[in-house]
């Protein structure tokens, strides 16, 4: 699939990125989703992600996946179906105060920003879940969390447009969720995410069923060669119908010549064109070779009937 191939190439380039000059072992953290229709965008990987090489692998990740479970997604399902990105892809380092991680600098955001733009164009997500103020600001601008969490927002971006359902950052460093009414806003957002994810899964199931049905129908169509058992059947069936039609038309028309012409037309239409039109409606297949063998059968029968008459 083209999207999967393009995404693999993108990830190979991202894995080798060293724009910000971070020392080893700090390097970009990659998502494992390969055919996503949903993107989740965080702030930046934490220290735990350096060793695990998985996004949201630490304490904040445990909270995030507990929230997504409310939306009906296990951690495994979420990692497979949601492309997990971030504003910057490498651990920025500890906060100078010693509490939590450092917020990525403006320079780091600028140097890393093109990766997110490329992913939006590659994936063209139907749903984007920005997590935390930095990611929410990227899509919705500066706004109080209480004004944007718990709602859907239609947003245009480099890859087209998407529904955006923001979540606060799941880090314990944020006290926002503990304020009155804020946990209900998060629950409302998770319900919206669950509804969107279920709708996307239903659409994907229908598309897959249609693709499998088309593939099955195509498999029922035999290879169309000039010589084959099916061509022999066409020849003799057309000759038989020609003979039967000739017997009937002799009773209803005057002269053997008229009977031959009319019966040949019946054989060509009934056995040839009629069957090919049926095949075209059923399988999308119309065989000129079959028609040629139908005509050969009708012609041979006409010749034999003409000689018998003479």
Beta-carbon count within 10 A of 65 CB: 18
Q: Please report the pLDDT score of residue 276 as a whole number.
A: 62
Instruction: Name the nearest CA neighbour of 177 among 45, 64, 57.
Output: 64
- The answer to whether residue 208 scores a pLDDT higher than 90 is no
Q: Which residue has the tokens 């380039």?
A: 13
* Residue 230 pLDDT class (50, 70, 90 cuts): confident
pLDDT, tens digit (0-9, with 9 covering 90-100), for 243-257: 766 665 555 554 555
In the 8-state DSSP scheme, what is residue 167?
A: B
Q: Please report the pLDDT score of residue 306 as a whole number.
A: 67
Beta-carbon count within 10 A of 217 CB: 13
Q: Please report the pLDDT score of residue 13 as a whole number.
A: 97
Q: Please report the pLDDT score of residue 238 as a whole number.
A: 74
The average pLDDT across 209-230 equals: 66
Q: What is the largest CA-CA distance in the chain?
A: 112
* Residue 228 pLDDT class (50, 70, 90 cuts): confident
pLDDT, tens digit (0-9, with 9 covering 90-100), for 111-138: 999 999 999 999 999 999 999 999 999 9
Q: What's this model's pTM, rounded to 2 decimal places?
A: 0.71
Task: Report the relative pairing of strands 127-130 and 160-164 from DSSP bridges.
Answer: parallel
Share the mean pLDDT of the chain.
85
pLDDT, tens digit (0-9, with 9 covering 90-100), for 87-112: 999 999 998 888 888 999 999 999 99
């Amino acid at each position: 699939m083209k999207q999967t191939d393009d995404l693999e190439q993108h990830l190979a380039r991202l894995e080798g990125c060293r724009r910000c000059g971070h020392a080893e072992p700090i390097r970009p953290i990659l998502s494992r989703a390969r055919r996503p229709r949903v993107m989740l965008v965080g702030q930046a990987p934490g220290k735990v992600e350096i060793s695990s090489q998985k996004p949201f692998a630490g304490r904040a990740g445990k909270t995030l996946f507990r929230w997504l479970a409310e939306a009906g997604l296990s951690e495994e399902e979420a990692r497979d179906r949601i492309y997990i990105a971030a504003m910057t892809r490498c651990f920025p380092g500890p906060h100078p105060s010693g509490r939590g991680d450092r917020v990525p600098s403006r320079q780091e955001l600028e140097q890393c920003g093109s990766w997110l733009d490329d992913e939006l164009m590659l994936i063209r997500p139907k749903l984007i879940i920005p997590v935390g103020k930095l990611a929410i600001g990227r899509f919705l601008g500066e706004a109080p969390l209480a004004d944007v969490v718990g709602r859907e927002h239609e947003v245009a971006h480099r890859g087209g447009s998407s529904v955006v359902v923001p979540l606060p950052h799941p880090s314990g460093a944020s006290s926002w969720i503990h304020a009155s009414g804020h946990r209900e806003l998060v629950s409302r957002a998770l319900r919206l995410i669950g509804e969107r994810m279920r709708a996307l899964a239903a659409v994907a199931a229908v598309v897959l069923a249609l693709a499998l049905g088309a593939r099955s129908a195509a498999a029922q169509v035999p290879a169309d060669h000039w010589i084959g058992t099916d061509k022999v059947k066409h020849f003799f069936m057309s000759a038989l119908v020609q003979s039967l039609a000739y017997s009937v038309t002799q009773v209803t028309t005057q002269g053997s010549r008229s009977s031959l012409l009319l019966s040949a037309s019946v054989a060509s239409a009934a056995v040839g064109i009629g069957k090919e039109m049926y095949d075209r409606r059923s399988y999308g297949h119309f065989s000129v070779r079959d028609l040629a063998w139908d005509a050969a059968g009708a012609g041979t029968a006409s010749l034999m009937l003409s000689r018998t008459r003479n």
